[in-house]
Amino acid sequence: MEVKLKSGRKLKIKNITLDERDVLLDSVEYIYKEDGYFSGVKMMNSTMTKWIRTCVDGDVSDKTLIKFNIEERTELFTILQGMFTMGEEKASK
């Protein structure tokens, strides 16, 4: 699958295994405010880098990833999360 970011950058996404997906999902630690509302993600930069290196099919070297701005990294991370969490809310039959 290929995704296109708002910046125009196109990236090919790997088909990852269930084990790889679970490791990625387990690596995200959400932060909530006292009132229960979502506030952010702990260790956001390393979490996004881990997801990008695991999921992007292509050059994910430091030299390449440093060229991504924070908006691109965040957009790609959000897209990947959506791809790998689809259907989790639906109960099994």
Average pLDDT, integer, range 1-20 = 95
d(CA 80, CA 52): 8
Residue 92 has pLDDT above 80, yes or no: no
Residue type, 26: D
How many angstroms separate the most distant Cα atoms in the chain? 46
Q: What is the reported pTM? A: 0.79
pLDDT in tens, 24-70: 988 888 889 999 888 877 778 899 999 999 999 999 999 999 999 99
> What residue ranges do the domains of the chain occupy?
2-83
Strand 38-41 to strand 10-12: parallel, antiparallel, or no bridges (unpaired)?
unpaired
